[in-house]
Structure 1
Amino acid sequence: MKRLSLIVLVYLIALPAIAQIIEPINWSFDARQKGRDVELIFQASIDKGWHLYDTHLPEGGPIATQMVFEDSTLFEFVGELEKEPQPVEKFDSIFQLNLRFFSDEATLTQKIRLKNDSPVDIKGYVLFMGCDDEMCLPPNEAEFSFQLNGSKGTQSEVVPALSDEEGNPGATSGSASGQTLWLFILISALAGFAAILTPCVFPMIPMTVSFFMRGSENRGKAIRSGFFFGFSIVLIFSVLGALFTFGLFGPNVGSILSTHWIPNLLFFLLFLVFAVSFFGAFEIVLPSSLVNKTDSKAEQGGMVGAFFMALTTVIVSFSCTGPFIGALIIEAVQDGGMRPLIGMFFFGLAFATPFTLLAIFPSALSKLPKSGGWLNSIKVVFAFILLAFGLKFLSNIDQVYGLNFISREIYLAIWIVLFFFLGLYFLGKIKFSHDSELPYIGVGRLLLSAATFTFVIYLFTGLFGAPLKSISALLPPQSAGQSYFQAGTAGPTVPDQLCGPAKYADKLHLPHGLNGYFDYEQGMACAKEQGKPVFLVFKGHACANCKKMENGVWADPRSLKLLSEEYVVIALYTDDRTTLPEEEWITSSLDGKVKKTMGKKNLDFLIGEYDTNSIPFHVIIEPDGTEHKLGVTFEEDKFVSFLEKGM
């Protein structure tokens, strides 16, 4: 309240300001309790023209809305987060992604079940981000506290939003999602169909179909058994998905799988082992005793026999279906919700469909292509793809922990080599132990090799700074010093480091090869030493307009020349979670809280000094202290004129 009064007073007595505190999204909280079952209700009121991002967003996009709980051991989640209304999805040209968001209002309801009947206080905060057509605000936090009186009644307390006490949050009820649900279902089904075209699955089709034709004089009974066989395959895969959805892991698993080094390393090794197996080095098989036991049960016939025949099919095909199942579950668990179950259901449905249809219509069996070398070729192609995609898990470790051992250039170089070898394989220039003789190249192989080599050339441009937007979600970010200029334009002459190494330069960098600082005091000291004006920009990792301005107006050769030669650039991230050394912590004069992270400290500085929380926000500080301010603009001439003011 003191902070709000101070702001109102400033606006009443001050000259018209060019910026203001913007709070277009306001939260209210409520809870409904019946015994140990509780509905936690998070309601957002959104100003006209603004929108609130969904709880599931693709990797590489803005920050998704999340409910972060201080102590999630007090309860267990029941079901998925319910949303009313459903978010709208639109393509964002800045992030090159489909993003979902709410407008006007949003009600998010999370059902939980308390662990016991004792009174409990469930605390936490909502992490959210709002944007309109012109600007994005830094991520904000709205604190909540639900005081639940055991198994009777409830009280909810709403704590004002802006910033929280530093702490270690518990579980989140939302996680980033790479695809829309329908796209995920399509990918799951395609994975199921692709698994059929492998050498340890495709040859099983005639053997499996013959099982249902053997000794069956009752056509109707054979059809029922065929349908039950297909249903059993779907059921087996769905049960596997259900274990990951409901019982195997807690609600934090998506975040853990995305960021922790142990699961990412295990996933990389899993992909590597399967890839080497697909190349023909060895074969992955489950214990023969398990296969023999299920196969003997299948001989019983009837519905029981059909089920165990389905189980035998799933077990025997594991050496080829394993990579598809593993990749699908990894993606689904990271996205959270019911996706593991949904993904495995549609994978199983696609996998079972050919077996079931051929069991019902055995005459179509004669029209299938015969097994041969083409099946092993498909397996080898999958091996190259597994190696390429497995590298992303190592990259996750590298980025999250700041190890810097897999740069974008190294990552691209590995991909270029892998897909170059794949192109040679299509041309028959590389052969593996289980490949058949290839006397000539067919049209299909020729077209696939041409497509692969085209992709290699496309990847090669990334080594020179091309953004590679179509696959950017799979690649590490561009490293410092990388820049991509249009043909016919020359980049700026970037000087050496201005006044020595910049703090946090191991994690942060400026676009287009610009040098600068990420600490206000260090940057100002350098500007004073060199007698240069300062170009100060407040920005964010997930700020769409920040990226749009940097890729657009900053990239203008006139702007780059001024920034690189005439200014000391200071970039302050308002959403960075890097914990600062204790001597750099500050106690905010706005809310009285201790700011321990880089983002919170910079955001507090932006609000306290410039009365705004919108980013990007640019300030030119001349040597005599004169300041010029600029918010968002996509006009190159206007930005150049702004930079010239400081000269």
Structure 2
Amino acid sequence: MKKFITFFILLSAIISQAQTADEPIKLETSVQKISETEYDVVFSAKLYKGWYLYSQYNPDEASLPLEITMQANETGYKLVGKATEKDTFAKYSDVWEKEEIVFKDKAIITQRIQLTNKEITQIKLNFFGQVCETACINIDENFTISLAGNTINEAISIDEKSQNLTKKLQLDLKNTSLLKNSTDTNTDTSNGLFSIFLLGFVGGLLALLTPCVFPMIPLTVSFFTKQSENKKKGVFNAILYGFFIVLIYILLSLPFHFLDNLDPEILNTISTNVWLNIFFFVVLVFFAFSFFGFYEITLPSSWGNKMDSASSVGGLVGIFFMALTLAIVSFSCTGPILGSLLAGSLSSDGGAIQLTAGMTGFGLALALPFALFALFPSWLNSLPKSGGWLNTTKVILGFLELALAFKFLSNADLVAHWDILKREVFIGIWIIIFIGLALYIFAKIKFPHDSPIKKLSFSRISFGVLIISFIIYISPGVMKNPTWNLSLLSGFPPPQFYSIYEQETDCPLGLNCYDDFEEGLAAAKETNKPILLDFTGWACVNCRKMEENVWSEPDIYQTLKEDYILISLYVDDNEKELPKDQQFDFLKKNGKVKKIETVGDKWSTFQVINFKNASQPFYVLLSADLEVLNSAQQYTDRDTYYNWLQEGLQNFNKK
């Protein structure tokens, strides 16, 4: 657990210079012939200022060591020992508390290879390493290297088959000027970010009502107001303390912006990864049981002690370390909520910017009481006393964490097509969880740290009634024909067509659709209808909201059913492999190779190549001769979407 938390904090550190670097490391290769059967492959690396690359000989339990290996299924040659290195030096790491062997500014690594088949003309090597500044990034690149000359002009090449299959993904689109700035004009980003900010703010308020944070409010405010020379300075210090709390939580989100800049598809890949979603499920269940009181999750006590001693410095630096101390010592209560925020942001379509918005809201909610009570110290008398209600709040949060955990297990199930957590099964599990919460609220079950309850308070009874009402609301969801469609929960349960009951089609709302572009295009030509190209995902929350709240509107549903050929391409369908003869290497603009091996790989690349967009949902209207009918559309409201469909039909009929 200590290593896991250390890794998480290291990943989430400040990356000040990283924001200015397109690539922290640039690699080039060359070849030197030693004999008829031996060659030296030389990797020359240039590192961005302030970044370090770690050596093959880096000690255990430190930053990841460099590794050069043959690519999978390669034969006809072998590596001769480890690579030789030039210009390494030792650097002491405060994180790992040991000396590490690193490259700085530049690196020259030479790997000798020996041919076991003299007919070999090229070799394929993988270069894996870790580069760090105040954050760390793994470098994992494949190189195809020709042995014909002594210099390699291109580190990566793709074969003729890959080039031909790449060309097949490229559409000869007409009228593409309509697609420019589609995302900016059709997506209400500010509203989405404000919603995430509010969710983070609510999470911060909930964190305040936990035993780790709430008792700190009067103690900290009293410290600032009493220890200062005058009242104004005490108020200023308390407000500065609050500002540093907000700043710390914002800084934790910055590394994810860097990941997003390196590769626009990376956060989508993370959010739809089956094993990462299972990991989130396990972590959130682990967090939930800590909230129940069965164990406590804490950061290493030495961290808190170091920050506490640093806070005695005084001035701005001392106040900053006091804020950092609060973040560390309250981790057992704030960590699970932050973990949910992180997992939720990575699984959404906004990615890093949404994470920053949520973190800002979370930090602001934590910081506000310290500033407000410093301004109005008499308000401290109105604060309720610490007691059993704080632990009750933790347990309630534990039930909510448990319910959220199954969302990530559901994502994994949908993407992997396991057919385990169908919609009705998912809702049934939620019903059981919230029945457990209702029993807890009415004191029918207890957890380890609960205080004895002699009489149920009015607020407790009211909250229990609210939970029972929610159970009644979601209960019809387990039936074949529910009396209502649970529109308030759209995006959380699996889609309606992912059901234990037999459905008319495998498409949203029983519509007819195609999951292959070529098949849908052929149908459009045959019927002389326009195409609605729907880039979607099994784990896409906003896609489900659009289908269940917008597509389900009678006039929109009728338009989709009668006037359009619907082609739904699932960009996260990464468990369904393409036939071997359709798998290929795609050379990206940054010179790296993406292996197209699954249906999801194919359609996500198809979207980026033709529409320069990697988010979902993403809708495009086309004619059968590939003419763009109007601007692209994304997550939006019912009226905007209906008018957009009608505009597309009018443009199609004119042409």
**TM-score, normalised relative to structure 2:** 0.52
Task: Give per-residue Cα distances to partners, 1:461-512, cap 9 Å, x unaligned.
Answer: 00114321210210101246678xxxxxxxxx999xxxxxxxxx8xx36856
Aligned residue among 472, 490, 503 for 1:472: 490
Q: Per-residue displacement from partner, 1:166-198 (whole Å, max 9, x unpaired)?
A: xxxxxx999998961221222222222221111
CA deviations over 1:60-109 (Å, ceiling 9, x no partner):
xxxxxxxxxxxxxxxx9xxxxxxxxxxxxxxxxxxxxxxxxxxxxxxxxx
Q: 2:533, 2:622 within 8 Å by CA — same for their partners in 1?
A: no
Once the 2 structures are TM-superposed, how far is the Cα of residue 607 of structure 1 from its aligned partner?
9.7
For residue 370 of structure 1, give the secondary structure of its aligned residue in structure 2.
coil
| Paired residue type of 2:493 | L
CA distance in 2, matches of 1:184, 1:575: 27
Q: Tell me, which stretches of 5 or more residues in structure 1 are unaligned? A: 1-35, 38-75, 77-117, 121-140, 144-158, 165-171, 484-492, 496-504, 523-533, 557-570, 586-595, 601-605, 615-631, 634-647
Tell me the equivalent position of 1:221.
233
Which residue does 1:267 correspond to in 2?
Answer: 280
Given the alignment of the two structures, is residue 187 of structure 1 paired with residue 199 of structure 2, yes or no? yes
Q: Which moved more, 1:388-397 or 1:322-331?
A: 322-331
Tell me, in whole angstroms, the C-alpha distance in 2 between the residues paired with 1:379 and 1:264.
24
Q: Out of 375, 378, 383, which is 1:368 matched to?
A: 383
Q: Partner letter of residue 395 of structure 1?
A: S
CA–CA distance in 1 between the matches of 2:284 and 2:229?
A: 46
Q: Percent identity?
A: 37
Shift of 1:609: 9.2
For 1:60-139, what aligned pairs fall within 5 Å after superposition?
none
**Correspondence 1:416 to 2:431:** yes
Task: Say whether 1:255 aligns with 2:273.
Answer: no
String of CA shifts for 1:547-599, please: whole Å, max 9, x gaps: 9888859999xxxxxxxxxxxxxx984646677657999xxxxxxxxxx9799
Instruction: Give the alignment partner of residue 426 of structure 1, picking from 401, 426, 441.
Output: 441
Q: Secondary structure at the match of 2:456?
A: coil
Question: Structure 1 217/398 Cα, relative in aligned 2: closer, same or farther at 3 Å?
Answer: same
Which residue does the alignment assign to 1:210? 222
1:210 deviates by 2.9
**8 Å Cα contact 2:194/2:357 also seen in 1:** no
Cα 1:399/1:368, change in 2 over 3 Å: same
Q: Distance in 2 between matches of 1:178 and 1:415?
A: 31
**What does residue 590 of structure 2 align with?**
none
The verdict on how the C-alpha distance between 1:547 and 1:370 changes in structure 2, with shifts beyond 3 A counting, is: closer
Matched with 1:394 is 409
- How big is the shift at 1:254? 2.1
Rounded to whole Å, the distance in 1 between the matches of 2:241 and 2:503 is: 67
What is the DSSP-based 3-state SS (H/G/I as helix, E as strand, rest coil) of the residue aligned with 1:474?
coil
Counting only pairs closer than 5 Å after superposition, residues 145-184 of structure 1 correspond to structure 2 as: 160-161=172-173, 180-184=192-196
Match of 1:626 in 2: none
Task: Tell me the CA shift for residue 142 of structure 1.
Answer: 10
- CA distance in 2: counterparts of 1:279 and 1:367, whole angstroms: 28
Q: Give yes or no for contact 2:513–2:566 (8 Å, CA) kept in 1.
A: no
1:439 corresponds to 2:454? yes
How far did residue 287 of structure 1 move? 0.9
Residue number in structure 2 paired with 1:350: 365
Choose from 299, 315, 322 the match for 1:309. Answer: 322
Q: Is the 8 A contact 1:539 1:546 kept in 2?
A: no
CA distance in 1, matches of 2:174, 2:417: 29
Count how many residue pairs are aligned between Structure 1 and Structure 2: 408
Q: Could you tell me which amino acid in structure 1 is paired with residue 487 of structure 2?
A: K
Distance 2:512 2:252 in 1: 51
- Output aligned runs, 1:398-547, within 5 Å: 398-464=413-479, 465-466=481-482, 467-479=485-497, 508=506
1:282 to 277, 290, 295: 295
Aligned residue type for 2:200: S
Check if 1:299 corresponds to 2:297. Answer: no
Q: Distance in 1 between matches of 2:513 and 2:226?
A: 76
Maintained 8 Å contact 1:195/1:324: yes
Give the conservation status (yes or no) of the 8 Å contact 1:407–1:479. no
Counterpart residue identity of residue 353, structure 1:
L
1:201 to 2:184 alignment: no
Q: Deviations over 1:13-58 (max 9, x none)?
A: xxxxxxxxxxxxxxxxxxxxxxx99xxxxxxxxxxxxxxxxxxxxx
Q: Tell me which protein shows more helix as a share of its residues.
A: 2
CA distance 1:300–1:451, change in 2 (3 Å): same
CA contact (8 A) 1:267 1:390 kept: yes
Taking only aligned residues, the RMSD between alpha carbons, in angstroms, comes to 5.2
Q: Does 1:325 align with 2:338?
A: yes
Distance 1:431 1:246, change over 3 A: same
**Residue type at the aligned position of 2:244:** S
Give the whole-Å Cα distance in 2 for the aligned partners of 1:574 and 1:225: 55
Query: What per-residue deviation string (whole Å, max 9, x for no partner) do you get for residues 331-370 of structure 1?
Result: 3444135333333233212211101222343332222100
Q: 1:411 to 1:207 in 2, by over 3 A?
A: same
The amino acid across from 1:318 in the alignment is F
Return the offset for 1:437.
1.5
Distance across 2 between alignment mates of 1:291 and 1:574: 51
Distance 1:546 1:222 in 2: 53
Superposition TM-score, scaled by structure 1 size: 0.52
In structure 1, C-alpha distance between the alignment counterparts of 2:275 and 2:187, rounded to whole Å: 19
